[in-house]
Structure formats: structure tokens, C-alpha cells
Amino acid sequence: MTVALHASGLSVPGRLEAVSLDLGPGELVAMVGPNGAGKSTLIQALAGLLPAHGTVQWNGQALSSIPVAERGRLLAWVGQEAHFEFAFPVREVVAQGRYAWGDDLTGVAEALAELDLTFLADRPATRLSGGERHRVGLARALATRAPIQLWDEPVAQLDVRHALEVMRLARRLVDGGGTVVVSLHDLRAAYRFDRVLVLDRGRLVGNGRPHEVLTADLIRQVFRVEATFVESLVPELPER
């Protein structure tokens, strides 16, 4: 199997314990677990943003051997919180995603449109709501055109329509050969992903297809709740 994102023995003292995984291109991956399970830590370690023991590879290259300028072309990360210290217009903030490509602003307008931000393009980023700021962060990541995207709770602050649009966008990225990892708390939504990673107390305790991993026993063990499985209709966002 071609591997887009590889980790072996990835550890952060007190926060993450010997996580190993291989994620391929064209995979939409959900990362779930209780608060404090290590989801954000793992995402940041995979992105090279946090000192960690073990090995990380992007597209077969050891992370330590990839020049910093090249990293921005290969992987994009979106954190839980979107804070902007300076009142740059939204368009300029999104254009920062093209930094690794020099003066090439390809895809900025498209990213603004994808995240429903075109009408806010000239507004200072410091004058946005929490959900709008988060969409700006996602648009900046999208503008990178990076094949690996790591999004930490991207829909937590979004309304229903924008949350569905973000999930539809993630699916479109993987259909085009990308790898998208999304941390979330909604276990029902996780069943719509190709793969699910389950973290508990810094350990990877589940890795596989959602219906095979998210069993009643695992949910009881990890989340300390009893689960009853019923068929339900999941709302789909109509195509524009």
C-alpha cells in the first residue's frame, strides 16, 4: 500500500504513547477519543509542530529530512482555535497558505469560495465570529493545495450548514487523492469516514473501518457509556 502518512513509535512524554499507523492517499480519517485522550497532541506531532520521539514520514520521506519550505507544500494543519493578532483582510490571511509557493496565489479565490468567505474577503480577520475565523483557517489550509491535511475539530464551532460543507469538502479532497485526518467528538459522524482512529489516555486503541472499530464494547471501554445501535438517516448537503 502506498503510504501518505506514517508514524512509528510516536511518543510525547506524559501525553502520547508509542503510536504507530499508516494512512494512505484517498483516505478520509476520523480521530476520536475522550477529552485529554491525545488527539491534538497526535495531530501536532504528525504535523511536526511538537517535539516527539519516534518516526514520522510524509509520502515516504522522513519528516526530519524535509526542508521547512517544502513542508508547507506537503501538509497543512488547522488547530482547534483560530486566533489572529493583526487586522489583515481575510483574503490576505488565506493567501498566507501560499507562502511556500512564493508569489503564486493560485487557489486563493477558490478557497474563499469553498468556505463561503468571498463576501468577507476584505473584512479584517480580527472582526470575525469564532466560526468565521475557523473557516478562514480552513481556507488557508485549503489554499496550500497540500495533499495531506490535518484538521483538529474543524466543525466544532460551525453551524450545521457550514459543518456539512466542510465534511463534503474533505470528501472531495480525498476523492482527488488527498489524505485528510479530522478529529471530532461526534461518533455518529465518524461512521461516514473511511477509517477511524480511537485514542484513549495517549494510546491508539482502535484503527480500522468505523463499523469494525466502533463497537459497543469499545465505546463502553473508552467513552464509559452504553451504546445502542439503530438505523438513522444522516442529512446530506445538496450539491450547489
pLDDT tens per residue, range 44-67 = 999 999 999 999 999 999 999 999
pTM for this predicted structure: 0.91
Question: Considering the chain, what is the average pLDDT of its residues?
Answer: 92
Predicted pLDDT at 233? 52
Give 17-37 as a DSSP string.
EEEEEEE-TTEEEEEE-STTS
Q: Which helix (H) or strand (E) holds 5?
A: strand 5-12
Q: pLDDT (tens digit, 9 = 90+) per residue, 157-198?
A: 899 999 999 999 999 999 999 999 999 999 999 999 999 999
Tell me: pLDDT of 239 over 60: no
Predicted pLDDT at 240? 43
Tell me: pLDDT of 132 over 90: yes
Tell me: pLDDT of 236 over 80: no
User: Which sign, positive or negative, has the C-alpha torsion 179, 77, 156, 160?
Assistant: negative
Cβ proximity of 11 and 52 under 8 Å = yes
Tell me: pLDDT of 238 over 50: no
What number of other Cβ atoms are within 10 A of residue 61's Cβ? 13
Instruction: List, edge to edge, every strand of the sheet that includes 195-200.
Output: 75-78, 148-152, 179-183, 27-32, 195-200, 203-208
Domains of the chain, with CATH numbers?
A: 5-81+152-223 (3.40.50.300)
What does the alpha-carbon distance between residue 177 and residue 194 come to, in Å, rounded to a whole number?
13
Helix axes 160-175, 130-143, angle to 10 degrees: 10
Tell me: pLDDT of 119 over 90: yes
Mean pLDDT across 141-147:
95
Predicted pLDDT at 76? 96
Q: Band of the pLDDT at 82, cuts 50, 70, 90?
A: confident
